[in-house]
């Protein structure tokens, strides 16, 4: 156990003395949790193998799961990347600073625990003013996974970080809630064609506009609801459980009307069995579900996927705080940031996915 120090900083104009203090902790091999535009990160000097090992220990993260390295500017890429392809510069110009992570060939000076022994390294330049100031002041590449215990919901506030990591991290910079709310999009540029390993804060549509065509998706199951192979997802264990609340989460996929009807049916059944149920829904669903015996949490309007992404993890933590045993979550589609939301809910479900069809018209 260490004494965790918390420093409150202004989200856009952080005090230089506090940033300097956090940078010094990083330079001495310590752990600093800091806000990025996506979620809070748990940072350590990416070039110091021992400091990086402390990240894995603090999170309980298995050594096979590689970390993202954060840089102050794109010009620093050669500090951790062996060879920067032209496409990386193009994407950097379009999306950095911002929530896009690029997987590139690793430079030899990056210790093997950062990349879990791979020859590639994941890098990004975050746009949050506090992250940017910290990276500049530390003048180091900073390895930082999300600042939560492994497998749990990612933190979007400093309070979330402390819930998971109090006494396991030296310093937390508290700048309030993070604006994007879900993790970065991870794009592999070492594959035969650019491949999205994880949908996130930069949408597939925005990537397609710069690439000239849609990128390949490593997990195409999450693109179109209609393409989810029910048999594949029905078996638990197909998807490693991740980004998960403590309650058991079920994701209901399908047309909205049918999903809400199925939700209502399941709540009544679970309530009869004496179980405390939480519902993760959209504003538009509230009226339809107000009378059911469940804790109702809305993440916003289906018309604003960016707001849903921002609120997702806080909503899941709220349902845990309200001690529900089972969460039934609806799907919010795949447009823009809704795809990242679907991906996280799929993983949080650990494979508990229900594909609900129309009552009539099962023609396809
Ligand atoms: P986190 O920082 O907790 O959001 O997790 C980092 C994500 O980036 C994980 O999904 C990793 O598997 C992925 N990642 C990091 N480095 C690499 C790499 N070299 N190749 C592929 N994926 C990576
Ligand atoms: Mg994580």
Q: Ligand 2 centroid vs 20 CA: distance in angstroms?
A: 26
Residue 229: what pLDDT? 45
Question: Is a pLDDT exceeding 90 seen at residue 135?
Answer: yes
Question: What's the pLDDT band for 233 if we cut at 50, 70, 90?
Answer: very low
Q: How does residue 351 score in pLDDT terms, banded at 50, 70 and 90?
A: confident
Confidence of residue 144 (pLDDT cuts 50, 70, 90): very high
What is the pLDDT, as a whole number, of residue 242?
A: 81
Q: pLDDT value at position 220?
A: 57
Token pair of 129, please? 């003013």
**309 has a pLDDT exceeding 50:** yes
Least confident of 181-195, 238-252, 257-271, 303-317: 238-252
pLDDT tens digit sequence for 9-29: 999 999 999 999 999 999 999
- Summarised one tens digit per residue, pLDDT across range 36-49 is 999 999 999 999 99
Specify the pLDDT at position 162: 98
Q: Check if the beta carbon of residue 128 is closer than 8 Å to that of residue 244.
A: no
What would the DSSP string read from start to end of 157-218? SHHHHHHHHTTTSSEEEE-SS-SS-SPPEEEESSSSS-EEEE--SS-HHHHHHHHSSPPEES
pLDDT class for 240, splitting at 50, 70, 90? low
Rounded to the nearest whole angstrom, what is the distance from the C-alpha of residue 272 to the centroid of ligand 2?
36
Probe residue for ligand 1, chosen from 34, 36, 38, 67 as the CB with the greatest number of ligand atoms within 8 Å:
67
- Please give the number of the atom of ligand 1 that sits closest to the Cα of 183: 4
pLDDT band at 360 (very low <50, low <70, confident <90, very high): low
Q: Which ligand 1 atom lies nearest to the CA of residue 145?
A: 2
As a whole number, mean pLDDT of residues 241-257 equals 90
What residues contact residue 212 under an 8 Å CB cut-off, 6+ apart? none
Question: In angstroms, what is the span from residue 42 Cα to ligand 2's centroid?
Answer: 10
Q: Which residue has the tokens 């060939």?
A: 105
With bands split at pLDDT 50, 70 and 90, how would you rate the model's confidence at 221? low
227 or 176: which carries more pLDDT confidence?
176
Distance CA 362, CA 198 (A): 32
With a 6 A CB cut-off, is 117 part of the ligand 1 pocket?
no
pLDDT of residue 225: 43
Position of tokens 């179980």? 275
The dihedral through the CA atoms of 333, 338, 343, 347 has a sign that is: negative
Report the chain's mean pLDDT, rounded to a whole number: 92
Instruction: Please work out whether the CB of residue 118 comes within 6 Å of at least one atom of ligand 1.
Output: yes
Percent of the chain with pLDDT over 70: 92
H or E segment and range at residue 101: strand 100-105
Q: Which helix (H) or strand (E) holds 329?
A: strand 326-330
Residue 164: band (very low, low, confident or very high) from pLDDT cuts 50, 70, 90? very high
Token duo for residue 5: 């120090």
Whole-number Cα distances in Å, 222 to 173, 217, 235, 312, 341: 34, 9, 16, 17, 10
Q: What are the pLDDT digits (tens) for 63-115?
A: 999 999 999 999 999 999 999 999 999 999 999 999 999 999 999 999 999 99
- The SS3 of residue 51 is helix
The pLDDT of 109-137, averaged and rounded, is: 98
Q: Is 254 in the pocket of ligand 1 (CB under 6 A)?
A: no
Could you tell me if 305 and 312 are in contact, meaning their C-beta atoms sit under 8 angstroms apart?
no
């Amino acid at each position: 156990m260490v004494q965790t120090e918390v420093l409150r900083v202004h989200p856009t104009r952080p005090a230089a003395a506090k940033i300097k203090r956090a940078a010094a902790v990083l330079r001495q091999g310590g752990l600093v949790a800091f806000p990025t535009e996506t979620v809070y990160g748990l940072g350590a000097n990416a070039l110091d193998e021992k400091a990086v090992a402390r990240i894995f220990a603090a999170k309980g993260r298995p050594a096979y799961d590689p970390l993202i390295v954060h840089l102050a500017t794109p010009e620093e890429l050669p500090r951790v990347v062996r060879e920067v392809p032209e496409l990386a510069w193009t994407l950097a110009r379009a999306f950095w600073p911002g929530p896009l992570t690029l997987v590139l060939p690793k430079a030899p000076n990056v210790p093997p625990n950062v990349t879990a022994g791979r020859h590639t390294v994941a890098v990004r330049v975050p746009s949050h003013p506090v992250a940017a100031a910290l990276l500049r002041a530390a003048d180091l590449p900073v390895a930082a996974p999300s600042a939560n215990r492994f497998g749990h919901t990612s933190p979007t506030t400093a309070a979330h970080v402390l819930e998971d990591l109090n006494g396991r991290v030296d310093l937390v910079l508290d700048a309030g809630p993070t604006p994007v709310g879900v993790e970065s999009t991870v794009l592999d540029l070492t594959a035969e064609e650019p491949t999205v390993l994880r949908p996130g804060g930069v949408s597939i549509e925005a990537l397609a506009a710069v690439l000239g065509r849609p990128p390949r998706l490593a997990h195409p199951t999450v693109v179109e609801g209609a393409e989810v192979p029910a048999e594949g997802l029905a078996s638990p264990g197909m998807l490693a459980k991740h980004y998960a609340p403590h309650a058991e989460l079920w994701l209901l996929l399908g047309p909205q009307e049918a999903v809400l009807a199925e939700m209502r049916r399941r709540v009544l059944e679970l309530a009869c069995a004496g179980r405390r149920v939480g519902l993760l829904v959209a504003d538009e669903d509230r009226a339809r579900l107000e009378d059911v015996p469940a804790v109702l949490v809305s993440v916003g309007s289906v018309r604003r996927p960016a707001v849903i992404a921002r609120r997702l993890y806080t909503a899941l933590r709220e349902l845990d705080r309200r001690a529900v045993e089972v969460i039934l979550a609806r799907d919010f589609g795949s447009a823009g940031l809704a795809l990242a939301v679907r991906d996280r809910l799929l993983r949080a479900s650990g494979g508990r996915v229900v594909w609900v069809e129309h009552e009539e018209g099962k023609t396809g």
